[in-house]
A and B are shown apart, each in its own frame.
Chain A
Amino acid sequence: MENAIIGNMIDLCAVMMLLTTVLAVAMTHMKPLIRLFSAQSLFLAVLALIVAYSSGTSHIYIMCGLTLVLKVFVMPRMLWYIMDRINVGREVGLSLGIPGTLLASGLMMVLSYYITEPLLATMHTVERNCLALSVSILLIGLLMMCTRKNAITETIGLLMMENGLFLGAVALSHGMPLIVEIAAFFDVMVAVIIIGIFAHRINRSFNSVDTSFLRRLRE
């Protein structure tokens, strides 16, 4: 009985993560986009907490704490800060319209169920859903990076991909070894800082963070 409830809650969190990702794809403004990233990270943290509690794996608590501190609070603040320092517009800068991107996201979901199918035979229902959802979030995040022209939006796409990856790691194998998780957090953190520096530089050179200006290096 208790197992079923836990399974349902894990499922719920994972689905909410996907939902926030899809909503993020449909956003046209920067501020709600950053809030959605916060929300997605919060669901990841809750999911990690449930998994840690139910499986008794203590190091997932650490991962849960890191997610909560870094991804729910610190990184969104950092993105706000970068946005304030550079005159990023409130628009996200689309190269493919919202309906088109949403349709493509739907296709990504179907695709992810298709490609994970061979892996599912050996798994429980909960793990199955989480794996497919994790791959969907990865793919949608990638899609977001490809279809947006704004430096900050591209960064958020990367961070959302990373969240999808952690969802897969937690649900599938009850987290990777702690060192990998900490390494990954550290890496993302530094990457965001550096991306911030370069967004600032792009802004200074081109007077905008619209990366479609970055078309000088061509054959």
Chain B
Amino acid sequence: MNTALTSLICAMAASCVLCIALRNRRCIGTLMPVCSIVLMVLALNLCVPVLGGEVIDDGPFYMDPLSAVFMVLVAVVGCMASVYSRAYMGLENREGVVNHRELGQYYSLLIVFVSVMMLTFAARSMAIVWLGVGATTLVSTFLVGFYSREESTEAAWKYIILCSVGITIALAGYTLVYASTVGVIEHGALDWPVLMAHAQELDPTMMRMAMVLVIVGFGTKVGFVPMHTWLPDAHSQAPSPVSGLLSAVLLNCAMYGILRFHAVSEITVPGFSSTILMAFGLVSLAVAAFFIASSRDLKRMLAYSSIENMGLIALGFGIGTPVAVTGAVLQMVAHSVTKPVLFFSAGNIIQSYGTRDMSAIRGVGRVMPGTSWLLAAGTLAIVGAPPFAVFVGELTILSGMLGGGLVWLAAVTVVLLCVVFAGFARNVFPMLSGDPPSDVPIDGSFCRIAPIAVLMALSLSIGLFMPEQAMEWIGNAVGTFTGVVG
């Protein structure tokens, strides 16, 4: 068995057991971030050769460049969220919002959450992917409803009910996919390399209906409009480090489930699931853009921005030309490193000002210059201003649209992106200037700024000087897709 994979899985098991066992000790606040750094290093060690084109096919595990991209994102963002949690949750604990026991629960849930997401991407069988997506919902429900306030309970309730229904519908899709393989595939019918190899022979009618169910089912968790209603609530009520994780990597998990089946179905029935993806993508983009412009709550606005980005990514994958798919993968990477910057800096501001209402927050620039800079940079980055990573992603998707002859779609997308730009600018920049209220407490520890700065630097460096190597990796990930599709 592959040693890198074995060591990662052992480390996951060890960190989960360790964090759960020591959850009531004082050291948990240090232990858990350290564990997540170890996991990140091991995951990078595993993923770098895979990104280079090596495929691991080993018993129940299967990894190709596409799953490696997803896993690297979980590892990096998960690590930064854990380090940031130290500052965020530490303050909540000192202020008495969260007691010692709850702090322990938080950290042990967080490490389990990150581990489950990573494992999801290493699975060979789509059944395990389904189970992984389901399990992430169950674990993160407790993180969403972590504060036992009425609003958080409501958000967690909506989250688990809607996502459970979504998962059930996706399973109905699985049933049909499996039914279409009867008589075609003898063994391991839901293993995705096997599905890909036999995609040509599957029953097209079954596959069509299955794709509708899978996209609607997993799409509930991706946050496609109109199944998105849980998303702004869950993101705004969860503690900020968790909001960052939900937005940056949890949505990707469900997207991964859709993409694997999308690749199969594009061989069986070309053009069917890509049309559905494009439709959901465009609707999500449009609805989210207008909600961003009219938001008053800082974290809800960021949540709608996640819906918008997921819509854009779905559009890219839906168009399906190599350029557009490259753009979609780039956009996904860019969104995953940029969005936590915003959620974490929003967390700093919300903890100091004690409100999420953007019209009540003024003068961040004077009180917290570091956070203010990062928030401003993050805002510019997420709306797609050059030279940040999202700019590259959006530009590539747009050129994919134009290359595919979808001029009208490109025009509509540009208009909607302008609405997003205007919405963000109108809402965020007034917060940074002006006179702060006199009694804003400031907590400027290392863990509060460092993870945000690291992610911001990543976003900037991807946008400014994308290394040849990284471009080749993304090309490999796209290859697993278009190698057969395009």
Chain B residues with CB under 8 Å of A122's CB are: 203
Classify the interface of chain A: helix, strand, loop or mixed: helix
Q: Do B157 and A198 touch across chains, with their CB atoms under 8 A apart?
A: yes
Q: Are B175 and A173 in contact (CB under 8 A)?
A: yes
Residues of B within 8 A of A191 (CB): 134, 138, 160, 164
Q: Is B399 an interface residue (CB 8 A)?
A: no
* Distance in angstroms between the alpha carbons of A187 and B268 in the assembled complex: 30
Q: Indicate whether B131 reaches chain A with its CB closer than 8 angstroms.
A: yes
**Of B127, B158, B164, which one neighbours A177 at CB under 8 angstroms?**
B127
> Which stretch from B102-110, B166-174, B414-422 is at the chain A interface?
B166-174
Taking CB atoms and an 8 Å cut-off, the chain B residues in 72-115 that contact chain A are none
Kindly state the separation between the CA atoms of A122 and B179 in the bound complex, as whole angstroms: 12
Determine if B165 is an interface residue (Cβ-Cβ < 8 Å): yes
Q: Count of A-B contacts with CB under 8 A?
A: 119
A216 within 8 A of B: yes
Q: Is the CB of A138 within 8 A of B172?
A: yes
Task: Verify if A70 is at the interface (C-beta below 8 Å from B).
Answer: no
Interface status of A96 (Cβ within 8 A of chain B) = no
Is B151 part of the contact surface with A, judged by Cβ < 8 Å? yes
A165 and B157: CB pair below 8 A?
no
Given the known interface contacts A168-B172, A173-B175, the answer about A198 and B160 at a Cβ–Cβ threshold of 8 Å is yes
By beta carbon, the residue of chain B nearest A123 is: B179
Chain B contact residues: helix, strand, loop or mixed = helix
Contact B233 A217 (CB under 8 A): yes
Q: Are A180 and B164 within 8 A (Cβ)? A: no
Most chain B CB within 10 A, of A122, A179, A180, A211, is at A180
Quick check: which of A2-10, A21-29, A86-94, A154-162 contacts chain B, the rest being far away?
Answer: A154-162
Contact status of A176 and B174, CB under 8 A, knowing A119-B209, A145-B161: yes
Whose C-beta in chain B lies nearest to the C-beta of A195? B160
Complex contact B206–A119 (CB within 8 A): yes
- How distant is the Cα of A60 from the Cα of B164 in the complex, in angstroms? 24
Interface size of B by CB at 8 A reads 51
Q: Is A103 an interface residue (CB 8 A)?
A: no
Chain A contributes a number of interface residues (CB within 8 A of B) equal to 42
Complexed CA–CA distance, A122 and B142 (Å): 45
A74 contacts chain B at the CB level, 8 A cutoff? no
Contact of A161 among B130, B149, B165 (CB under 8 A): B165
Task: Write 6 A-B pairs (CB below 8 A) sorted by A numbering.
Answer: A138-B168, A172-B179, A176-B174, A180-B130, A180-B174, A194-B141
Q: Which 8 A-B pairs have the closest CB atoms?
A: A173-B179, A214-B154, A183-B131, A180-B127, A217-B233, A172-B179, A187-B134, A205-B150
**Which of B's residues lie within 8 Å of A, judged by CB?**
125, 127-128, 130-131, 134-135, 138, 141-142, 145, 148-151, 153-158, 160-161, 164-165, 167-169, 171-172, 174-176, 178-179, 182, 189-190, 203, 205-206, 208-209, 232-233, 236-237, 291, 294-295, 300
Contacts A119-B206, A151-B157 given; 20 further ones with Cβ under 8 A?
A115-B209, A121-B205, A122-B203, A162-B168, A176-B178, A180-B190, A183-B130, A183-B134, A190-B138, A191-B138, A194-B138, A194-B141, A195-B160, A195-B164, A201-B145, A214-B154, A216-B151, A217-B155, A217-B236, A219-B300
